[in-house]
Amino acid sequence: MRLPRMTTRRWIVAVAVIGLMLGGTIEAYRLAYRLRRRYGDFLDRAQWHSGFVFDWNARWRKNESDATLRRINYHAEMARKYEHAARYPWLPVAPDPPVPE
């Protein structure tokens, strides 16, 4: 069986197909890198907020005013928010509300 002749048109099509395959592969690696980076950033934020709540509960639980309870609840909610964002890094994340006074 004889192979078909490679004309200029066929070479152009072959180069275009190879270029699309390479471009798709590179873009897939870029997307995976961005998702891993977002995962790490969100996980760091969740751990920071969780650390604040844990530290407060472990050391200064004696002083429980309304303001401190609001602040603890705020950080607990932010920890849950960023844990969810780390689990699903491709979803958008709403901006943080202001820290309660």
Q: Where are the domains of the chain?
A: 8-87
CA quadruple 82, 84, 85, 88: dihedral, nearest 10: 160
Q: How many CB atoms lie within 10 A of CB 66?
A: 8
pTM: 0.74
Residue 26: its pLDDT value, please? 96
Q: Which residues in the chain land under pLDDT 70? A: 60-63
Residue 55: its pLDDT value, please? 81
Residue 49: its pLDDT value, please? 92
Residue 4: its pLDDT value, please? 83
Residue 52: its pLDDT value, please? 86
Residue 29: its pLDDT value, please? 96
Residue 47: its pLDDT value, please? 95
